[in-house]
Structure 1
Amino acid sequence: MKNIVTALAIATSLAMGHNALAADKPTVVLVHGAFADASSWNGVVNVLEQDGYKVIAAANPLRGVKSDGAAVAALLASVKTPVVLVGHSYGGNVISNAAYGQANVKALVYVSAFAPGTGETVAQLAGKFPGSTLGPTLADPVVLADGGKDLYIQQDKFHDQFAADLSDEQATLMAATQRPVTEAALNEKATTPAWKSIPSWHIYGDADKNIPPQAMAFMAERAHARAVEVIQGASHVVMVSHPESVARMIEKAAVQ
């Protein structure tokens, strides 16, 4: 009986220690981009949670920069701890908008992501440097009731375009479950970006076919990034293919 009580006491102490550790760390909020969903962060979430971080993988509506930013900003306002805000792809534009004026956001992390300046669109930035092959892989737009258009990547082109460093099985599943972005969102001008006042970290792959690596290097330099990591051979979904590297970059931002 004594051994059982001792074991329970040790387990309780460890649990309390883990909870206290998590309480001392910022909350990590992850924002997915176009043609993906919150599950694209699963590998990163696993690493961060094992390291004692509380994580929220937000559902990005993918309807428009301002409206998506407002949705994420509302989530941020509900978090009572400091936040490391992370965006992938188009989600980078969203976090740049959502974090502006949010006092609890201590760091921004751009994962194969856009970091637009005032008045820029992600469509413009994708075409600023050569290398993006996304356009020809898009399916015919889905016309919405309000006249807007939803965009998807053709499923048979998804693997090579979006996730070339994943297995056939992973890419096929992601292609089937991809979430569309509106055409308007990709052409909506950015407002004053939060990276002008909040420090940022950037990580991306040198084999990205959605956003030219040269464009991401340009945006990271312009934002005076605290750290930049380029993963050799990584596709646009670097957080899926290299979750530990992405998690480590987020943790660097968390302990600044």
Structure 2
Amino acid sequence: MSRSDSPTVVLVHGAFADASSFARVIPGLIARGLDVVAPAVPNRSLLGDSAYIASVVRQIPGPVVLVGHSYGGAVITVAGVEDNVRGLVYLAGYALEEGESLGELQGGFPDSDLAAALVHTSFPIEGSAAPGTEVSVQIEKFPSLFAADVDPRLASVLAVSQRPLAAQTFSEKAPKAAWKTKRSWGVVATADRTINPDVERYGYQRAGMTTVEVDSSHLVMLAHPERVIQLIEEAVRATAAD
């Protein structure tokens, strides 16, 4: 498979994180000769974030494999309907059904430990007199809930550099579900304390994904980068042959 024939890998981070959460995956993908893009997701609305990632995808010449972690899974579910997207990879992520919200998918299962550790703060919305509300994780609880098997020094940095998620995101419904028409793969993080692993399993099974389970915290791409790289490479090879 030549580099020119290979899909570009677009890495979409989730809530409470940024593109640096793929720092241990990106070098491995590049070493395998893959083109990689890791954009910053605004984390302000599911529809707006999906539209932004879709705009990034449209400007990439050739095919794309979208990789979404956590909330990024919801984003790629919507953005993945772009014509040049060949495959979807979910990392401890939300695979929404068309017309379903994050809150609705999570509501069918017991809460994870994260629910009791969320912090709500306000932020200004340009052109609006009323502020918006965003959600983050209590700094002292972030390492154990999000990154229990990540280097504690790195986890402490991640805890104080969170990218919050606007609260409205939990109630917005996905207008499309790309997994209905695109091949998809999913990683269940079985030791996840941020998303109930059964939420991940349910979404993946419903979508008919190729699924693997990894004994990992929520940040599976930092805790087990080689396993994540292998799965992304599998998706790249499979979709390059399409």
Tell me the TM-score normalised to structure 1 length.
0.88
SS in 2 for 1:203: strand
The count of aligned residue pairs is: 234
SS in 2 for 1:156: coil
In the TM superposition, 1:1-256 aligns within 5 A as 21-100=2-81, 102-145=82-125, 146-225=130-209, 227-232=210-215, 234-256=216-238
Q: Supply the AA of the counterpart residue of 2:207.
A: A
Q: Distance in 2 between matches of 1:84 and 1:168?
A: 31
Shift in Å at residue 150 of structure 1?
1.2
- Assess if the C-alpha contact under 8 Å between 1:86 and 1:92 holds in 2: yes
Q: Distance in 2 between matches of 1:51 and 1:121?
A: 36
Shift in Å at residue 143 of structure 1?
4.3
- Assess if the C-alpha contact under 8 Å between 1:131 and 1:209 holds in 2: no
> Percent same amino acid among aligned pairs?
40
Q: Supply the AA of the counterpart residue of 1:237.
A: L
Q: Supply the AA of the counterpart residue of 2:231.
A: M
Shift in Å at residue 167 of structure 1?
2.1
C-alpha RMSD over aligned residues: 1.3
Tell me the TM-score normalised to structure 2 length.
0.93
Q: 4+ residue stretches of structure 1 with deviation over 6 A? A: none
Gaps of 5+ in 1: 1-19
Q: Distance in 2 between matches of 1:246 and 1:182?
A: 27
SS in 2 for 1:134: helix
Q: Distance in 2 between matches of 1:215 and 1:193?
A: 16
Higher helix residue share: 1
SS in 2 for 1:93: helix
- Assess if the C-alpha contact under 8 Å between 1:204 and 1:236 holds in 2: no
- Assess if the C-alpha contact under 8 Å between 1:84 and 1:105 holds in 2: yes
Q: Distance in 1 between matches of 2:109 and 2:156?
A: 29
Shift in Å at residue 42 of structure 1?
1.1
- Assess if the C-alpha contact under 8 Å between 2:120 and 2:133 holds in 1: no
SS in 2 for 1:58: coil
SS in 2 for 1:141: strand
Shift in Å at residue 131 of structure 1?
4.8
Q: Higher mean Cα deviation, 126-135 or 153-162?
A: 126-135
Give the greater-gyration-radius structure (CA): 1
Q: Distance in 2 between matches of 1:136 and 1:243?
A: 28
